[in-house]
Structure 1
Amino acid sequence: MSTAPYTTSTAFLEALTETGVEYVFANLGSDHPGIVEAYAHANANGDAHRFPKMIICPHESVAFSAAQGYAQLTGRPQAVIVHVECGTQNIGGMLHNAAKGRTPVLVFAGASPFTQYGEHTGSRNEFIQWIQDVHDQRGIVRGYTKYDNEIRTGANVKQLVHRAMQIATSQPAGPVYLVGAREVMEARLDPAEANDPRYHLNRTAPIAPAALDPRTTDTIARALTHARNPLIVTSYLGRDPRAVTQLQRLAEHLAIPVLESVPMRLNFPADHPLHAGYQWNTQEPTPALAEADTVLAVDTDVPWIPLSNPPRPDARIFVIDTDPLKEQMPLWHVPAEIFARADAATALDQLATRIDDTGPADPDAVEERRSRLSAHHDRRRQALAENEQPHPPAITPQHLVAQLRDLLDTLDDDTIVLTEAISNYQTVNEHLRATRPGSLIGSGGGSLGWHAGAAIGAKLAHPDALVVSLVGDGSYLFGVPASAQWVARRYNTPTLTVIFDNRGWKSPKLSTLGVHPDGAAATHDDFNTGFDPEADLPGIATAAGGAWGRTIDHPDQVADTLKEAVEAVRAGQSAVVSVHVPKV
């Protein structure tokens, strides 16, 4: 091969490697010939290490969620390449998840060529390039990205990539978006110009973690030490395993119960006697909130639902968050006396250290509370265990999760569980009883189908881990399973998917009943949520990805089927188990 041309595409891909990107999850289109050529030259010349490894994904949502899953588990952002505005729109739901879940992902999309008579290499030569030319392509994503920009010249492409990554990884983290027209990405470039030392491209680290100021630390620490019934509420603190350790330290100092509200991470060990349980769309008062006189809300978007389970009116409330004002949420209100923007691990360490110095205001009250909370935790665990018993002929979600938990407990594998069970979110959390930070994660947002690509990203991030997705049948279908299972087969990322198959959308039915409990839909059982005729959900994975698949409908089948499925995954084959739980 002759010496490969150095183009804007070359510099762009080099910049991704320089910023720590290991994988580019790509759905290529007519706007990417420069990138295709750069990879081909690198491969032909034995120089492929210059660029991130490309993972081809036949659907954009799978590509994006794979990048998100990788970043969620490693903290290292990956890149996604999609086709102009159509490909950009296909990542919409997954982009929402990364934005709401504060996960760094870099998206590059081409743009329709801006010349049509061959003025530059890459000029328009396909009809689609007129149809896909829109007024404001970047505007499609601007409500969800932290940064967007257009690559107008290769001279500063590396500056743009490094800046985009710095913004993406600075807290609150999130996705960023770059576009570049074909002519720009094809342009020849002097490597010295792209790598000008004046740019200091190695000096684009994310912003250092923020801490509490001393006065705020004193105020919150004093409130917690003097509280009779303090409570900590969190949702996504577990993104940082260090924060889980510091939360446990603070809670144990003062015997403070920890409530996980809409958790998208493991935030506190489920077996800890100070774990106060979970709340999702809880429609009745939560005892821990109803009793608390002081509430510390740390990294939580929805600490409670004001209409259903707010804290008591006279409770003192403090907010510590990487995003304390929720600026992307037009309607949001928590009646706190302090809102502090701080890194959770740093802030909790400050509070625990301050309380170490001062001690509790009433040590006897702390020990009485510790004993009372431990007894309550044991009673709640016993009640949950009773709900796990089989009830033939139906397979209950509680029994299913318990059987999976017991199986996973017998394995030596590190296990990562992705939860997208929607109406069974709470069941998964309560009965899985996860204890290890990073072992249980959700999408961070509300767009379904994340698990399908995220499982691929998780497996790439931790090749030796057993990756298990617990999903509803609706979530499974939203995940474009044919595409995801094909990608998993091609890149040897086998995972287990367990489907809570109630043959319909349970969540819309519950939402309707929540507003119209005695309405016409309830009276006539007419919710338009059923999935009849039933689809062969494992069959999709078998056809597209050669997966091991089975559908079961009796409790006696659960344990052996799950064991066979895990053995298939450990042998290198993806597995999908559709479990008939009570029908919607």
Structure 2
Amino acid sequence: MSYTASAAFLEELQAAGIEQIFANLGHDYPPILEAYAEAEAAGRTLPRFVVSPHESVALSAAHGYTQVTGKPAAVFVHVDCGTENLGGAVHNASKGRIPVLIFAGGVPFTQEGELTGSRNEHIQYFQDTFHQSEIVRQYVRFEWELRTGVNIRQMTARALQFATSDPKGPVYLVGAREVMEEVVPRVELDRAAWQPVHPAALASDDVETIADALRTAHRPLIVTSYLGRNPDAVPKLVELAESLGIAVLESTPGQVNFPWTSPLHQGVQWSEQAENAALAEADVVLVLDSDVPWIPLVNRPAPTARILHVDVDPLKQDVPVFYIGAQLAARADAATALDQLNARVAASAPIDPEVRADRIAYWSERHDALLARLTAEAALPADGTMTPAFVLDQLRAHVDENTIIVNEGVSAYGLVGSHLRQSTPGGSFTQNGGSLGWNGGAAVGTKLAAPDKTVVAITGDGSFLFSVPSSVHWMARRYDTPFVQLVLDNGGWRSPKLSLEFTHPGGTAFQNAAELPITFEQPADYPAIAAAAGGAWGTTVTDATELAAALDEAFRVVRDERRCAVVAVRVQHL
């Protein structure tokens, strides 16, 4: 048994701390499979293979796993076709800053047996491409076609450095069969030499400028979206907000960034076509880890507001059009910056107690009014037609500190955040991107990462179908990752209608919305799909009086029977 590049590659993944390989393999993987089998026979520990029948589900599962653990995962796919089948999951991993290593085999580049691994199937001619990595180049932090096995451990370590250094994200390696079959010398790397780049800190002048601006403002506000990807940053934000009486607004939140239990919490905003009062009233706005702090066309700070921006990527280097008018923009890690700001505040003269009390009282009143509006919004309409707000309010009774929400509510994103009102860091995630169908695979990966937690995936009917549910529920049964899946079934795609309503409110298309190609007039039996693929329990709820019992049974099935439960709820038609 020779020591091959494939063996070195797998050993490097293990040494780098990768525990899971979400895999969809093809004819390019004989060297990997042989190396893996030899390692098992010899009793050597390697990362676990998790088989996924669809590549986009594999990457979504890796996405969910990494969000919970903070550790990179790996995804193995098949040449160009498997790479293409990753689809929008690559977009989500990129926008969500998910450190994942994607490895794709390459078509053999010899055809007469010149090297081990030479072509032996007709399909290898059809799948040959000039530049396979160009399929994902604009979405990854690093891409490389491995040219030899002698430095495969170094190149893998380098790729993972890119993946795990800010701004984090996916990386992509390609290895043809001949390269992966190459017999190579054993190499041991010094792990200390291949660590991610240390988090950046604020310059001392910026610390002073930001702290003083927050202290002297009349109505300071912090806007954040993904600060909570590091759960340790959340209490640091709470400390800063409470010490100075600063309000916090979550804009397009991808995680729990600030606890709803705090009276300083001013709610969440997504694409509401209305001005946010807290944002409009603020005279100093600190944007801290946010890709979309507001949408200027409909909602922006006052023209006189002073805007300060701290982010791991304040320029948004992968977004061509982005600017927020910040008078100060600094590249820094949020947790590190908050430590600096809290230290500066503690070392400075205390804020006037009356000023702090006035701020807290003002924002507390606004917080209480928000909760009252949400309570009214969750009431069941007189005609008994269930709304997403009503359904989510009912779900909240089952959500506790041991629950993780996987939120792909799409047009109901904001409703999920507002009506579940979670306060536990790491208790909720979205894909932080725009490609739908993430929720199912992410739920599987989340449960793998947190087997003792109750995982709830919230999706619309459209996103359920996007998610390749047959693969999702097959994986959930095979890998014992049961989760509750709540389908908000509004009969189609509501988001295009909302966009149409804003863009052409009096147009012909909106007046005839029932005839537009955005509805599912013959809805699928969503619970039955999950039952057929993975033995899930499920029910479709059409009567509000049946919802509570359905949710009770769903959570019982997941916890006691350890199988998935799908509750499809017919809400107001789009």
Instruction: Normalising by structure 2, report the TM-score.
Output: 0.98
Q: Is the 8 A contact 2:491 2:521 kept in 1?
A: yes
Match of 1:397 in 2: 388
Q: Is the 8 A contact 1:225 1:359 kept in 2?
A: no
**Partner AA of 2:458 in structure 1:** L
Pairing partner for 1:42 from 17, 39, 43? 39
**Partner AA of 2:522 in structure 1:** P
CA–CA separation in structure 1 for the residues paired with 2:397 and 2:481: 24
Match of 1:33 in 2: 30
- 1:432-457: CA deviation from partner (whole Å, max 9, x where unpaired): 01010000110010001111111111
Match of 2:222 in 1: 232
CA–CA separation in structure 2 for the residues paired with 1:38 and 1:577: 43
1:201 Cα deviation after fit: 4.2
- 1:178-234: CA deviation from partner (whole Å, max 9, x where unpaired): 00000111122232xx33xxx534421111111111111111111111100111000
Q: Is the 8 A contact 1:244 1:267 kept in 2?
A: yes
Match of 1:91 in 2: 86
Question: Quick check: 1:20 aligned with 2:17?
Answer: yes
Question: Quick check: 1:151 aligned with 2:146?
Answer: yes
Pairing partner for 1:76 from 62, 68, 71? 71
CA–CA separation in structure 1 for the residues paired with 2:75 and 2:12: 14
Question: Quick check: 1:55 aligned with 2:50?
Answer: yes
Match of 1:540 in 2: 529
Match of 2:473 in 1: 485
Pairing partner for 1:325 from 297, 312, 315? 315
Secondary structure of residue in 2 paired with 1:241: coil
CA–CA separation in structure 1 for the residues paired with 2:48 and 2:440: 20
Matches within 5 A, 1:177-256: 177-191=172-186, 194-195=187-188, 199-256=189-246
CA–CA separation in structure 2 for the residues paired with 1:269 and 1:313: 29
CA–CA separation in structure 1 for the residues paired with 2:361 and 2:124: 69
My pick for the range that moved more, 31-40 or 58-67, is: 31-40
Q: How many residue pairs align between the two structures?
A: 571
Question: Quick check: 1:373 aligned with 2:373?
Answer: no
Match of 2:554 in 1: 565
Match of 2:540 in 1: 551
Secondary structure of residue in 1 paired with 2:232: helix
CA–CA separation in structure 2 for the residues paired with 1:540 and 1:286: 40
Pairing partner for 1:8 from 5, 10, 18? 5
Q: Is the 8 A contact 1:360 1:366 kept in 2?
A: no
Pairing partner for 1:386 from 344, 358, 376? 376
Q: Which runs of 4+ in 1 moved over 6 A?
A: none
1:46 Cα deviation after fit: 5.1
Pairing partner for 1:131 from 126, 131, 148? 126
Q: Is the 8 A contact 1:388 1:398 kept in 2?
A: yes
CA–CA separation in structure 2 for the residues paired with 1:93 and 1:17: 27
Match of 2:511 in 1: 523
**Partner AA of 2:468 in structure 1:** V
Q: Is the 8 A contact 2:286 2:307 kept in 1?
A: yes
Q: Is the 8 A contact 1:297 1:303 kept in 2?
A: yes
Q: Is the 8 A contact 1:225 1:360 kept in 2?
A: no
Q: Is the 8 A contact 1:226 1:362 kept in 2?
A: no
**Partner AA of 2:508 in structure 1:** A
Match of 1:406 in 2: 397
Question: Quick check: 1:442 aligned with 2:433?
Answer: no
CA–CA separation in structure 2 for the residues paired with 1:200 and 1:377: 52
1:380 Cα deviation after fit: 1.3
Q: Is the 8 A contact 1:231 1:295 kept in 2?
A: yes
1:277 Cα deviation after fit: 1.0
CA–CA separation in structure 1 for the residues paired with 2:454 and 2:193: 36
Q: Is the 8 A contact 1:552 1:578 kept in 2?
A: yes
Pairing partner for 2:97 from 88, 102, 125? 102
**Partner AA of 1:329 in structure 2:** V
**Partner AA of 1:568 in structure 2:** V
Match of 2:420 in 1: 432
CA–CA separation in structure 1 for the residues paired with 2:302 and 2:375: 30
Question: Quick check: 1:163 aligned with 2:158?
Answer: yes
Pairing partner for 1:468 from 456, 475, 488? 456
1:110 Cα deviation after fit: 0.6
1:353 Cα deviation after fit: 1.7
Match of 1:577 in 2: 567
1:389 Cα deviation after fit: 2.3
Q: Is the 8 A contact 2:28 2:176 kept in 1?
A: yes
Identity of aligned residues (%): 51
CA–CA separation in structure 1 for the residues paired with 2:315 and 2:31: 42
- 1:269-292: CA deviation from partner (whole Å, max 9, x where unpaired): 112100011110021111011111
Q: Kindly tell me: are residues 479 and 435 of structure 1, through their superposed partners in 2, closer, same or farther at Cα, counting changes over 3 Å? A: same
Secondary structure of residue in 2 paired with 1:135: coil
1:483 Cα deviation after fit: 0.6
CA–CA separation in structure 1 for the residues paired with 2:125 and 2:228: 46
**Partner AA of 1:534 in structure 2:** P
Secondary structure of residue in 1 paired with 2:290: coil
Instruction: Normalising by structure 1, report the TM-score.
Output: 0.96
Q: Is the 8 A contact 1:254 1:360 kept in 2?
A: no
1:396 Cα deviation after fit: 1.5
Matches within 5 A, 1:241-390: 241-359=231-349, 362-390=352-380
My pick for the range that moved more, 302-311 or 517-526, is: 517-526
**Partner AA of 1:293 in structure 2:** D
1:507 Cα deviation after fit: 0.4
Q: Is the 8 A contact 1:226 1:360 kept in 2?
A: no
CA–CA separation in structure 2 for the residues paired with 1:518 and 1:249: 48
**Partner AA of 2:19 in structure 1:** E
Q: Kindly tell me: are residues 360 and 279 of structure 1, through their superposed partners in 2, closer, same or farther at Cα, counting changes over 3 Å? A: farther
CA–CA separation in structure 1 for the residues paired with 2:140 and 2:96: 12
CA–CA separation in structure 2 for the residues paired with 1:524 and 1:486: 40
Q: Is the 8 A contact 1:469 1:498 kept in 2?
A: yes
CA–CA separation in structure 2 for the residues paired with 1:74 and 1:487: 20
1:321 Cα deviation after fit: 0.3
CA–CA separation in structure 2 for the residues paired with 1:463 and 1:359: 47
1:50 Cα deviation after fit: 2.4
**Partner AA of 2:31 in structure 1:** G
Gaps in structure 1 of 5+ consecutive residues: none
Secondary structure of residue in 2 paired with 1:114: coil
Q: Is the 8 A contact 2:244 2:351 kept in 1?
A: no
1:5 Cα deviation after fit: 3.0
CA–CA separation in structure 1 for the residues paired with 2:413 and 2:488: 11
